Amino acid sequence: MPPSAPRVSVIVPVHNGSATLAACLHGLSTNPGGAFEVIVVDDRSTDDSASIARACGARVVQNCGGPGPAAARNAGAGAANGDLLLFVDADVLVDPSIVERIIEMLDADPSLHAVFGSYDDEPSALNFVSQYKNLFHHYTHQTARAESTSFWAGCGAIRRATFTAVGGFDDEKYARPSTEDIELGMRLSRAGFRVRLDRTLQVKHLKRWTYSSVARTDILDRAYPWATLLLSQPAIPDDLNLRWQHRVSAALVIFLMLAAPFLLLGHKRFYGLPVGATAFVLICFALVHVLVLNRKFYRFLLGVRGVAFTLRAIPLHFCYYFYSGATFAWCWLRRPRRQAVERPASAASL
């Protein structure tokens, strides 16, 4: 690395992101002492994302590899000059002070190889679905363990040597926005590289969600690839939204959905038991337990958005548990009996 090279390379993959890219890059316009460079990787955009990036002073790199943000981030890393790589999504606002804090954190602890943050609790989109989706992500990260087995590329930094040692993002398996950053975090953890979730590294999300985009993204780009990834691991981590409370909640919500049709049987009896009444009691039992298991999240929503918002959010949260749990069960039933887990590079090799 040349002596005059910046310490940090901020890598922003973009595909038709003209609606938010300028705001994202404007947040990175303050660069004290040339501490970082900004590389925008244009992933085959058909809008004016590339020209916007150039107008904002960013260096634009074309993604000539496979499609998707995993390949785009790898292309950005290949063009980077910094010894620290900070991956930022094109639809977030990042305070430039975050870059300085990341440098301080990684310089202060040589055993720390990567660090990532979360969304803040004030997304720019004001519609209910966007607020709920953002707050769910914020709460999940803010209550997770600091020592993580995951990674988040919305705002996550990694030492360049470490990134190279593990082979970067898996751009062959993940050709579209998915769980490629989570997979990278798991690979880092298996190789013995420390990853930290720092709750103070918060960025503002600019994306506007709708009911249909949440369902489509959560099932096709989150639940299915995440379930497939988890089933390929030696063990499922007890962290983020995979803790035992969440697993039990998913099972109970699926039970609720399966038991609901029996309410229509009314007073019909099965082995002497009234089917409708029995189903009602079991559903109430499961419902109460799901509410209790998730009381801290609902209490958080009450505190930041009030009663009406929380009452609207609970059904959405139940839907999340249903399709996440059902997708995992489906993948588990279809999984190969034996799966080989790759052997990543070791931290000792650096």
User: In this model, does residue 11 exceed pLDDT 60?
Assistant: yes
Q: Which domains does the chain have, with CATH numbers?
A: 8-208 (3.90.550.10), 240-334 (no CATH)
Pairing type for strands 269-270 and 194-205 reads unpaired
Q: What is the pLDDT of residue 278?
A: 87
* Residue 319 CB contacts under 8 Å (≥ 6 apart), including other chains: 215
Name the nearest CA neighbour of 253 among 299, 297, 317, 334: 317
User: In this model, does residue 1 exceed pLDDT 90?
Assistant: no
How much is the mean pLDDT over the chain? 92
Which of 14-23, 31-40, 62-71, 186-195 has the least mean pLDDT? 31-40
Encode pLDDT of 117-134 as tens digits: 999 999 999 999 999 999
Pairing type for strands 84-88 and 59-62 reads unpaired
Using DSSP, state whether 15 is helix, strand or coil.
coil
Q: What is the pLDDT of residue 341?
A: 46
Please give the C-alpha separations between residue 162 and each of 34, 37, 57, 158, 193, in angstroms, as whole numbers.
23, 19, 28, 7, 8
User: In this model, does residue 338 exceed pLDDT 60?
Assistant: no
User: In this model, does residue 2 exceed pLDDT 70?
Assistant: no
What percent of the chain is predicted at pLDDT more than 90? 80
Q: What is the pLDDT of residue 277?
A: 87
**What string of DSSP letters covers 127-167?**
SHHHHHHHHHHHHHHHTS-SEES---TTEEEEEHHHHHHTT
The token duo for 306 is 């009030």
What percent of the chain is predicted at pLDDT more than 70? 94
Name the nearest CA neighbour of 153 among 94, 236, 234, 219: 94
Which of 6-15, 25-34, 242-251, 284-293 has the least mean pLDDT? 25-34
Query: What distance in Å separates the CA atoms of residue 82 and residue 46, rounded to the nearest whole number?
Result: 29
* Residue 173 CB contacts under 8 Å (≥ 6 apart), including other chains: 180, 183
Query: Helices in 33-80 by DSSP H: which ranges?
Result: 49-55, 69-79
What single DSSP character describes residue 273? E
Question: Model confidence at 343, in pLDDT bands (50, 70, 90)?
Answer: very low
Q: What would the mean pLDDT of 45-68 be, rounded to a whole number?
A: 94
* Residue 230 CB contacts under 8 Å (≥ 6 apart), including other chains: 236, 242, 328
Encode pLDDT of 153-198 as tens digits: 999 999 999 999 999 999 999 999 999 999 999 999 999 999 999 9
pTM (predicted TM-score)? 0.90
Q: What is the pLDDT of residue 190?
A: 94
Encode pLDDT of 299-332 as tens digits: 999 999 999 999 999 999 999 999 999 999 999 9
More confident residue, 281 or 29: 281
Which of 127-136, 225-234, 245-254 has the least mean pLDDT? 225-234
Name the nearest CA neighbour of 198 among 117, 104, 105, 106: 117
Q: 8, 88 in Cβ contact below 8 A?
A: no
Q: What is the pLDDT of residue 47?
A: 95
Q: What would the mean pLDDT of 262-285 be, rounded to a whole number?
A: 83
Q: What is the pLDDT of residue 53?
A: 96
Q: What is the pLDDT of residue 347?
A: 60
Q: What is the pLDDT of residue 345?
A: 57
